[in-house]
Amino acid sequence: MITTQLKSRRWLDYVLVGLAVVITARCAPLPTATVSAMPLPSVVWHKDIATFTDPVLGLTLDIPSNWQISPRLGPPTASNPSTFGTSIPRIYEVDLRPHSTQIQIVPGPSPVHTLEGIRQSSVLSGIVVLEEREINLHGLPALWIETEMEMVGTGEEYPVIQLFVLINDHSVRLTVYGDPAPATDTISSIRPIQDGSATMPPTSEETILPSVIWQGETATFTDPVLGFSIDVPGNWLIYPRLEPPSPANRSTFESPCFNGAPVPLAPCTQLTVNWLPMLHSFDDVRENLSQYEYAGKPVVRVVAERELDLHEWAALWMETEEYFIDTGAVYPAIRVYILLNGRMLLLEANGELSPVAGIVNSIRPIEDAVSDSQ
């Protein structure tokens, strides 16, 4: 982890306490089923952007669709931020690299009802302000402050943007680390929630993409084209398909993992879900797998299989041993083939396999699914 200090010791305490709590949460064991009394955020993916909505903070914003998203999983506090960033190894760290961008959102100072009140609040006490300006974000008054963060040990200084937005009777604080340029469009997109429409999936775009809603410590992922919903632990990273579903365009779910850990190996879990239009029955599946060979050896060996009923959908559960071509190693995996709405869906799991059964059992139909995969 990069160790840093801001020009104010007060801000250093804030950042380190926040990071310690988030790191603890991200590396904890799989959560138990609990329900948060406070609404959690949601995300809807579009072709080029992902729309994030926090119903408690009262705002909606857009980020690039290929960014990582780590939402708050409890009440919004300084130590429980929602975080967005470019494709970085561990999103819960402060990333100061010049070609990376990371944004954190937490409640601002309270009670504060004016921008002048923010200036006078203790949160800005002792901060070296390099530049300050007032802006308007879709009717929301905001205070833009540019400062710097200093890396401990090297003395190198990196730009940091602090944005304070007034929404109704409270304020929201957004911090940008690393390269600020990609964050300008996100900042410009900040807007108040109107009639809950920000959380609804798009219906008029050429490509309809998935959405996710966090509930308690569970994330519910919905693919309206393929017509299913699935629950994964709320602290997992989600990479949705960003094109029409196909064997190559899949959605991926990953448990928290250390840098450099091989994807197929424990203790990480990786799940992928994609559509296999060439397969129409479980006999097709078996025949297709028998054709997977590399250097005369089977790439996939089925160890055990059984048929399941998933909310009235027929499914074939296969425990396999799969040949890892890059290293020559053989590792266990789980493949689940599901017949839904005339399509064959494949859920493939690698790494730590213990969470897989519970996630598979959560797969269920959704209403108003799009009837054609375009």
Number of domains comprising the chain? 2
Question: What is the end-to-end Cα distance of the chain in Å, rounded?
Answer: 44
Could you tell me if residue 71 is inside a domain? yes
In a domain, 234, yes or no: yes
Both 128 and 179 in one domain: the answer is: yes
198, 217, 239: which is the final residue of a domain? 198
Quick one: tokens of 43?
A: 């995300």
pLDDT score for 152: 63
211 within a domain of the structure (yes/no): yes
Q: What is the CATH number of the domain that holds 144?
A: 3.40.1000.10
pLDDT in tens, 94-110: 555 557 889 999 999 88
Q: What's at 79, amino acid-wise?
A: S
252 and 136 both lie in a single domain: no
pLDDT at 221: 96
pLDDT tens-digit series, residues 194-203 = 744 444 444 4
Most distant CA pair in the chain, distance: 73
Query: One digit per residue, pLDDT tens: the chain, 374 residues?
Result: 333 334 433 333 333 333 333 323 333 333 333 334 578 999 999 888 999 999 999 999 999 998 989 899 888 888 889 999 885 544 445 555 557 889 999 999 888 889 998 888 878 777 788 999 999 999 999 999 998 877 666 677 888 999 999 998 889 999 998 888 889 999 999 999 974 444 444 443 345 899 999 987 899 999 998 999 999 999 899 999 988 888 888 999 999 875 555 555 557 899 999 999 999 999 999 998 888 777 677 788 999 999 999 988 999 999 999 887 777 788 899 999 999 878 899 999 998 899 999 999 999 998 644 444 44
Task: Specify whether 42 is located in the same domain as 184.
Answer: yes
Check residue 78 and give its pLDDT: 87
Q: Would residue 274 count as lying in a domain?
A: yes
Rounded distance between C-alpha atoms, residue 61 and residue 81, angstroms? 15
Contacting residues for 365 by C-beta, under 8 A, at least 6 apart: 227, 228, 229, 311, 313, 340, 341
Domain match, 281 and 221 both: yes
Q: Do the domain assignments include residue 278? A: yes
Same domain, 18 and 87: yes
Q: What is the pLDDT of residue 171?
A: 92
> Token digits for 34?
């609990």
- Kindly state whether residues 187 and 126 are assigned to the same domain: yes
**Which of 198, 214, 245 is a domain's end point?**
198
Q: Tell me, yes or no, whether 344 and 251 share the same domain.
A: yes
Assess if residue 61 is contained within a domain.
Answer: yes
Instruction: Dump pLDDT digits (tens) for 320-347.
Output: 998 877 777 888 999 999 998 788 999 9
Q: Do 145 and 52 belong together in one domain?
A: yes
Residue 372 domain flag:
no
> Quick one: 174 and 251 in the same domain?
no
Residue whose tokens read 């009235």 = 312
The H-assigned helical ranges of the chain are 9-26, 115-120, 183-189, 282-290, 356-361
| Number of Cα atoms under 13 Å in the Cβ half of residue 204 | 0
Asked, as a colleague might, if the bond just before 111 is cis with ω within 30 of 0, I would say: yes
Domain end call among 198, 221, 243: 198
- Residue bearing tokens 């400062």: 147
- Residue 198 DSSP SS3: helix
Domain coverage including residue 310? 206-365
Whether residue 337 sits in one domain with residue 241: yes
Structure tokens that stand for 48 in this block: 């080029």
- Helix (H), strand (E) counts: the chain: 5, 25
**Tokens linked to 83:** 């975080």
Say if residue 148 is in the same domain as residue 249. no
Residue 371 lies in a domain: no
Please report where in the chains the tokens 């006490």 appear, as a residue: 125
Q: How far is 212 from 50, CA to CA, in rounded Å?
A: 10
Q: How far apart are CA 223 and CA 213, in angstroms?
A: 12
In this structure, are 173 and 229 located in the same domain? no
